[in-house]
Amino acid sequence: MVDLTLASASPRRKELLQQIGVCARALPVDLDESVLPGEHPREFVARLAREKAEAGFQQAGDVRPALGSDTAVVLNGRIMGKPVDEAQALDMLLSLSGRVHQVMTGVSVVDASKTLTEVVVTDVEFDTISEQQARQYWASGEPCDKAGGYGIQGLGAVFVRRITGSYSAVVGLPLHETAKLLLQFEVPVWQPAERPVDN
């Protein structure tokens, strides 16, 4: 039985939900993800998570809650999106090199009666990255669709010296906070892994 609508096309978020025993139906939503004038990164990820969850709930057209999430890599208050080309990816990686940045992930759950939203902030410290390493990493293909130009759950892990906060939030969904939100919507966690998954 499907417990939840996941308003996302991200396979990582679906896998993270499966990790804690939540069976979700993925239903991608198409939203304008532009930052509003004067919007703080924390407000930005909270708003997008909420708007995605609301859109997912409306599209699904049933009584199941919907979950939306958004992740931003933030350096000195500036949101770093997904690189559009090698030059931008190198610029991002070399900017992050040897420094601490924040990964902010908003998660929101919506049903017909309420909306609850949490934002989790994790500090990520990178080791020094050479231009050659950045070019090699870009050639792997991994940075293309990743906020900040790296994936901590993939090859990009070699750059990460330490994190302070939630690892799963950096991947795309803070599992501790997500589970607490879902329980307020009576969505069970820790269900058997053999439960069928509705795609």
What residues are annotated to the active site? Answer: 70
**Please, what is the Cα angle at 184 between 189 and 166, to 5 degrees?**
60
Give the whole-angstrom CA distance, residue 66 versus residue 97.
37
Which residue, chain included where needed, has tokens 């940045």? 101
Phi, psi of 171 (to 5 degrees): -65, -35
The residues with which 113 forms a beta bridge, in sequence order, are: none
For 135, residues 6+ apart whose C-beta sits below 8 A from its C-beta are 86, 90
Q: Is 110 exposed, middle or buried (0-12, 13-18, 19+ CB in 10 A)?
A: buried
Contact 52, 29 (CB under 8 A): yes
